[in-house]
């Protein structure tokens, strides 16, 4: 990778965002040469569900798909209590339309469903009826798995979705999409962090 956009990942941040859902993802991306930049509705600080204050690196109106390798959206109370976070769903649409991938976990999947982005894509979430309550038209594309990547079509970007209890599977899909690890190391990473398989550590260290 040579350009900064190829190694820059954008993480959406907003009040009550579920900070644990992307901890594995952002930590291991950073350890593997990526830069994670946070994006808020504005540059005003937000407070995570865990009580941490985060100062966004940029405001949403400054975000451009061509400057990014991936947009990550986490869960938050705001996805189910009004339209405050809908601008992030619209940003996801602009990313996908530009051929840049998006990864959404937990409540962010409902935001994408309301935006119509899951109607014709394979996807998952917490449970199928959670998304069905949005009134979206993609119920037949729901997949009962921990996390799923839809490959996109006609130049559209790929889309990762996962439920709130699957931060490790979510990270695995991100790493596979971005080519962070080869297949053998990706399997070892997942076994280490999901299954506590200590033998996988040696594979990750290249031994």
3-state secondary structure of 42: coil
- Over range 39-46, report the average pLDDT: 98
List, for residues 3-16, the tens digit of each pLDDT value: 678 899 999 999 99
Tokens read off for 106:
């937990």
Residue 88 in contact with residue 14, Cβ under 8 Å?
yes
Q: Which of 63, 106, 110, 171 is catalytic?
A: 106
Tell me what pLDDT residue 153 has: 84
- Residue 33: how many other CB atoms lie within 10 Å: 9
Q: How would DSSP label each residue in 97-165? A: HTT--EEEETHHHHHHHHTTTTTTS-B--S-HHHHHTTT-S-GGGB--SSEEEE--STTPPPEEEE-TT
Residue 141 in contact with residue 120, Cβ under 8 Å?
yes
Tell me what pLDDT residue 5 has: 80
What's the CA dihedral at 82, 85, 108, 167 to 10 degrees? -120
- What phi and psi values does residue 5 have, to the nearest 5 degrees? -65, -25
Q: Is the pLDDT reported for residue 205 higher than 90?
A: no
Q: Is the pLDDT reported for residue 35 higher than 80?
A: yes
Q: Is the pLDDT reported for residue 1 higher than 80?
A: no
Task: Reply yes or no on whether 189 is catalytic.
Answer: no
- Percent pLDDT > 70 in the chain is 98
List, for residues 132-182, the tens digit of each pLDDT value: 999 999 999 999 999 999 998 887 899 999 999 999 999 999 999 999 999
pTM of the entire predicted model: 0.95
Tell me what pLDDT residue 3 has: 67
Whole-angstrom Cα distance, residue 191 to residue 205?
A: 14
- Over range 31-59, report the average pLDDT: 97
Q: Predicted confidence band at 207 (pLDDT cuts at 50, 70, 90)?
A: very low
Tell me what pLDDT residue 4 has: 75
């Amino acid at each position: 990778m040579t350009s900064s956009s190829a190694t820059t990942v954008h993480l959406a941040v907003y009040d009550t965002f579920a900070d644990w859902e992307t901890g594995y993802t952002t930590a291991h991306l950073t350890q593997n040469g990526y830069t994670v930049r946070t994006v808020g509705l504005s540059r005003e600080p937000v407070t995570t569900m865990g009580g941490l204050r985060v100062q966004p690196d940029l405001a949403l109106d400054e975000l451009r798909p061509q400057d990014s390798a991936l947009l990550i959206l986490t869960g938050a109370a705001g996805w189910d209590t009004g339209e405050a976070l809908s601008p992030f769903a619209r940003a996801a649409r602009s990313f996908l339309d530009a051929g840049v991938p998006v990864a959404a976990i937990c409540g962010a999947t409902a935001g994408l469903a309301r935006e119509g982005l899951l109607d014709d894509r394979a996807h998952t979430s917490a449970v199928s009826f959670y998304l069905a309550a949005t009134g979206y038209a993609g119920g037949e594309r729901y997949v009962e798995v921990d996390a799923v990547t839809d490959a996109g079509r006609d130049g559209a970007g790929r889309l990762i979705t996962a439920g709130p209890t699957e931060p490790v599977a979510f990270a695995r899909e991100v790493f596979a999409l971005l080519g962070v690890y080869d297949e053998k190391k990706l399997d070892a990473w997942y076994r280490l962090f999901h299954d506590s398989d200590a033998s996988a550590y040696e594979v990750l260290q290249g031994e």
